[in-house]
A and B are shown apart, each in its own frame.
Chain A
């Protein structure tokens, strides 16, 4: 008997006028791992939540058949669903920090799951909590059980959440993007944990936007788009021989060593995803545009960046990889002149950039710009898109000291005239593939990909020599990520901009970078040409990182 068997499931939110799920059929057998893959807005999370009756207020759920644990769930009331959750299906969500009660210890949280379903006698609960934490690989479970969610690292939090999900030993675990916020090595641990759970006979429903993560663990994959399942099949078959064009596009959009030099956003035609080459770009190896030597940064008594040196040439992309807390972003702040190094120095275009008063940097700031992970956070909340993109052009003396020179006000403190700015904004928006009327919009009304395009347009406004990209695509779906990476590559080829590309995603870095720095605990453990470092890693840590990457996905036949 199937654990879950649904046919023609439809979930709508009549008040918002949205139909999120439009006719999904799905069955999950005991001991099986099923994955639903799709972009944000595809309806995958709504589907998962519907399975445990958490669709939310105001949702209308219809189905031709909807049986859970052999019972007809269409007539379920709140109480029936409550009895099901935890007991029959454990839920693991992406953000463990918000899923765990901040005012209760991790141990209490898990004990509650035990108490609700009366699984073990009260006296044995404490002991069982420790056992559960131990089972999910939390070191020192006695200590951790007494701690609060915020005192744990992301990986430990996610483990604690899994422990509470499996507390009542449910036959099914529903995991909604369980590893999305995690580093690659931690992700590998969590996936191993889920796989071990599956090996004991528990069924698993995984929701993810990441095909690679899914391929490591799922038996069957369902590809979802706009509320409909477009392709369904055994994992190996779907990845190797996708039948639907959308699946092909998704697979081709995954950046990796294979995709280097080609566009990620492809057109699926005649059953194959066509890879078109990116424009040629040339690296000018004569003089580095940016040099960092012996950079060290200290917060309080902690050394977060320790003796980091590198150089970047015009037209080149330097990748920086490492886990969270490895000092990647601090390096970006040092390079941007937002943080003074405790020792070491940065040279921009051969001239001192660190260790000088801000006044000396101000006129040259237009030469180095940044694109961050969260564009919305870097936008003044009062500004429209046009205003944002024009911002670097006004106020500061745009382009003074630049080789190219601005048409107006070179060296003067005043910005360029408004009419020129307006034309330039339209030109920049056009360049990043946004329609001109977006200028009047507020960024909150744009999608994540469009916002990142606005951020890129703004960074390009002053025609910088160096672009620092700090996890620029980490918050984006794989197909949107593909478009943004293609855009950055085109810009680099046309302008000869040097790029520092920071990411925790090794595939992305392998796709974009010429050379790479591998960072750990503030130190560079390995650096060199990206193919050499990733194909022939010398340092153990690099090997560990690479080994943790879910096995690569081949893009079509």
Chain B
């Protein structure tokens, strides 16, 4: 799908293949063209920035999901980790009461961010350990963690939502809404965060030894293991990264809303999986890339935003999104069906 799967780009060139391999790109162009034609408000800079900052949440989640799917696994817990981490961040900003010390701690925002990401990584690592060491199938392990993380988030808040996360100047913990509201050079911070995450992940996949290990163990774990690839370490790492990125997405979302609720991010894992699949990754592992996944995330985000703008009912949006996913999987099986794997 992208530079990450075929290292030296000296393959032959044909229109059919270009259309097939660049399908997510062409789909995105088509979506933008159609909605720009249908609505004058669609093709404006401000609309693209708004849509992009919504895509950022799914985009960050789908990068983590991509790593897990490349490994041949799946991570159903990302939506719940997102909520759990948002709630943890909210709790820290509202103040952590240490009863034995008789104080209420108000950690500064940078500390909140670091701790929250650490919590996400820890929950992700739990997924990884379950899958790699206890041989729990990824679907089941992350399904369980999905319920547990959601339940813990509900317990922590008693089902309520932390509102007003702007912090207090007197306590020195203001600035949390910077992530969600501010812009650098006119670009929303959340989009910049997404870009950084995507570039780092892309570099890791295409240029680092770890990236090669990941593709190899996703493509054929037994062969990778016999070639000296530390397949368990790779597994734990991808789930950990996925958890950490879920925390990042949770922070961005909580910051955009300046509130953190335990029911945030419900079914986001499915959107993230859809983005990865639309981006051409194979659910069997070993094939896919960051570029495709980003296109997949934008296809979903721009499609549903466009449908809202032209006033299509949200029920139809669901139908459209589903149709796009099925179409994408059909295309994947056309692309990977011929050649390659022989049984």
A in complex with B: no
Which residues of A does B touch, CB under 8 Å?
none
Footprint of A on B, CB under 8 Å?
none
